[in-house]
Each structure stands twice: as structure tokens, then as C-alpha cells.
């Protein structure tokens, strides 16, 4: 049994494209290896290594898996799963010196993000993405707003 595939990408401006498919239209903005797409199902963020097929995509909105769970009660958010298991000083040191290589994320238990940062730092285009990412998270670590893999805040 066959199926009909329809997809067309139209470049509006450098770094800005309109995508048309049988499921609807969307707008993408970004460079090769990192872009954000807004469509009828929500917001999709994609970061990858160009030419390798290695990428990471996160999705918020409809069909993202967030809406398929049990209904929640309005009020306070669920508490973290336990006390922080990481030392904030060690995290700050790892974030400062080998910082853009993602070692601090691996220490905090956020393995996927750490490995993505490490892979991005192997290319010049990837470094353009990883270094601002690292600067923002260094500020979060210094201010005590960074979370480990379990949602626990690693603070001073």
C-alpha cells in the first residue's frame, strides 16, 4: 500500500524558511545544525552536527507527550525527587575550566546534553552554538539556579 508524501521548503530570507506539508505549514529559523520550528503542533528545537545525521530535538506543545499523562491539580509543582547529590563548588569549577565541553552537565547527571556539547565543540560551527549555551549555563550555576538530572536545584 502506498501513501502520498507532500513537503516543500521555501526560503523566505537567509536563515528563515517556510515549510509546507500535508499536515500544515510551519516556519523555521536558524542555521544549519541548529534551528527552531514553529508550527500547528507547537515549538520544536533541533541541534545537531551537520552532515552526520546526529541531532537532538525537543518539542513543546501538542503531541509532545506532555499532554498524554494524568490530569494534574492546580497548585504547587511536584517536589524534586530528593536532595541535591552534587556539590555546587565542584560544579562551578567544572563549568569554568573545561566548560564548553559539557563536563559539568555530565557531572550533574545530564548526560545527553553533556555529550551533545562535547560533540558540538569538535566543529567550528558547533562551537558557535555550544559557547553561548555554556555562558548562559555558567551564569545559572554561579547564581545557584542549575538543576541536576532529577530536577534538584544545585545551589550554594
pLDDT at 75: 57
pLDDT of 60-95, one tens digit each? 766 555 545 555 555 555 555 555 567 888 888 988
Per-domain boundaries in the chain: 7-63, 88-154
Sorting pLDDT into bands at 50, 70 and 90, what band is 32? confident
DSSP string, the chain: ------EEEEEEETTEEEEEETTEEEEEEEETTEEEEEETTEEEEEEEETTTTEEEEEEESTTSSGGGS----SSSPPPPSSS--S-HHHHHHHHHSSGGGTHHHHHTT-HHHHHHHHHHTTSHHHHHHHHHHHHHHHHHHHHT-EE-TTS-EE--
Give the least confident one: 71-80, 93-102, 143-152: 71-80
| Separation between Cα atoms, residue 76 and residue 5, nearest integer Å | 45
| Separation between Cα atoms, residue 14 and residue 29, nearest integer Å | 9
Amino acid at each position: 500500500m502506498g501513501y502520498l508524501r507532500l513537503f516543500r521548503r521555501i526560503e523566505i530570507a537567509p536563515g528563515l524558511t517556510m515549510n509546507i506539508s500535508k499536515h500544515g505549514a510551519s516556519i523555521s529559523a536558524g542555521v544549519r545544525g541548529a534551528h527552531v520550528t514553529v508550527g500547528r503542533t507547537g515549538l520544536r528545537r533541533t541541534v545537531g552536527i551537520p552532515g552526520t545525521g546526529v541531532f537532538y530535538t525537543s518539542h513543546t506543545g501538542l503531541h509532545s507527550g506532555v499532554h498524554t499523562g494524568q490530569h494534574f491539580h492546580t497548585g504547587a509543582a511536584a517536589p524534586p525527587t530528593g536532595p541535591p547529590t552534587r556539590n555546587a563548588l565542584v560544579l562551578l569549577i567544572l563549568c569554568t575550566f573545561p566548560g564548553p565541553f559539557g563536563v559539568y552537565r555530565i557531572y550533574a547527571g545530564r548526560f545527553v546534553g553533556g555529550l551533545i556539547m562535547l560533540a558540538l565543540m569538535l566543529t567550528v560551527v558547533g562551537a558557535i552554538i555550544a559557547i553561548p549555551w555554556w555562558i548562559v549555563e555558567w551564569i545559572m550555576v554561579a547564581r545557584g539556579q542549575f538543576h541536576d538530572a532529577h530536577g534538584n536545584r544545585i545551589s550554594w
